[in-house]
């Protein structure tokens, strides 16, 4: 017997970047709870296919965010705003740093001004800004805590421009909270993975999974000893409305991710084992992958104390399950290339 449909609420949400990887999962949750949702996405990295082809409570606007906000009618007011639009991925940032910097700072600034200019009857709409673990820069200690100091590399290394731009976004959001009482929440996402994630912008897990499916060599950059903590998007996305809906979280910054580290070499091995692939693992120098002067962190691990205390956040989906589901979303329905028959 099918579950009864969720009754529509009067809440209207704006999700920027809603056709992207994390954004589309969030949109699905908001629709499931009965909200009306407006998505603005220029599809530069998102995919229209990530969203329902049609839904009576979903409106999709394909446009640059700044232009879309300007074009929305004066009577257009939102009860919640989620800002996920961004230029993401190490390869994209290094290949086109100007676009990445301008997109990440200018769109966040335009969105925050919009939130103040279009208040609801109760005041400015609660607004969530997605940031990144990259904000921690080189990291002075591990695990990373939200109030840690940060250290970046020189401005001559474009790799750090993304971290600086996202840090500016955070400063803006917190300044709007302080000066204009905007109910703002900042979340720093740590290596979010799962179905619908694409690997063409440097995302490591979908890149590994796609290679394993096709039987191609899995390329591990550097010696593979660098470690990360991977958290499934289906654990991450539900935390966003919970944080935004709690007034005690407004004006604060939260890490969201998993706490169990895995080396990138071991990640490649886990992908091979989970999918039954025979792909070999090859090591590629950072200079070959990203150009000379690239710096990587030996470890990136979040302290989740704050988000756990705020909303009881605890990731539940295993890495192996994420790998299987990501493979399925990439079309691995038959035996993998080079795997035993």
Residues classed as catalytic? 162
**CA nearest neighbour of 173 among 161, 185, 187:** 185
Instruction: Work out the end-to-end distance of the chain between its first and last CA atoms, rounded to an integer number of angstroms.
Output: 38
**CA nearest neighbour of 190 among 146, 222, 147, 155:** 146
CA distance 243 to 65: 24
CA distance 302 to 308: 12
Residues 6 or more apart whose Cβ sits within 8 Å of residue 86: 17, 103, 104, 107, 130, 166
> How does strand 262-263 pair with strand 218-221?
unpaired
| Phi, psi angles (nearest 5°) of residue 279 | -60, 135
CA distance 197 to 27: 15
Q: Which contacts of 100-104 are long-range, i.e. CB under 8 A and separated by 24 or more positions?
A: 100/161, 100/162, 100/165, 101/161, 101/164, 101/165, 104/162, 104/165, 104/166, 104/168, 104/169
CA distance 151 to 20: 29
CA distance 264 to 222: 9
């Amino acid at each position: 017997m099918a579950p009864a449909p969720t009754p529509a609420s009067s809440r209207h949400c704006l999700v920027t970047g809603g056709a992207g990887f994390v954004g589309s999962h969030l949109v699905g949750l908001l629709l499931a709870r009965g909200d009306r949702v407006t998505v603005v996405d220029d599809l530069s990295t998102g995919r229209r296919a990530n969203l329902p082809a049609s839904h009576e409570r979903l409106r999709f606007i394909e446009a640059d965010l700044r232009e879309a906000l300007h074009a929305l009618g004066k009577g257009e007011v939102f009860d919640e705003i989620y800002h996920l639009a961004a230029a993401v991925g190490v390869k994209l940032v290094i290949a086109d740093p100007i676009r990445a910097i301008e997109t990440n700072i200018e769109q966040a600034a335009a969105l925050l001004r919009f939130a103040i200019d279009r208040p609801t009857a109760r005041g400015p709409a609660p607004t969530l800004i997605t940031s990144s673990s990259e904000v921690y820069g080189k990291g002075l200690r591990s695990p990373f805590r939200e109030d840690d100091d940060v250290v970046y590399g020189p401005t001559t290394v474009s790799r750090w421009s993304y971290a600086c731009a996202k840090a500016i976004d955070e400063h803006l959001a917190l300044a709007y909270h302080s000066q204009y009482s905007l109910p703002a929440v900042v979340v720093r996402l740590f290596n979010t993975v799962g179905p619908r994630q694409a690997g063409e912008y440097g995302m490591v897990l979908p890149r590994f999974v796609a290679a394993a499916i096709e039987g191609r060599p899995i390329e591990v950059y550097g010696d593979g000893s660098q470690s990360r903590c991977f958290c499934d998007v289906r654990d991450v996305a539900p935390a966003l409305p919970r944080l935004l809906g709690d007034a005690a979280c407004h004006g604060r910054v939260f890490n969201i991710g998993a706490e169990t580290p895995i080396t990138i070499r071991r990640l490649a091995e886990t992908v091979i084992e989970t999918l039954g692939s025979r792909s070999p693992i090859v090591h590629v120098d950072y200079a070959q992958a990203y150009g000379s002067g690239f710096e990587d962190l030996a470890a990136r691990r979040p302290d989740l104390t704050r988000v756990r205390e705020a909303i009881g956040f605890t990731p539940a989906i295993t890495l192996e399950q994420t790998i299987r589901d990501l493979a399925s979303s990439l079309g691995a329905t038959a035996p993998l290339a080079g795997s035993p028959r």
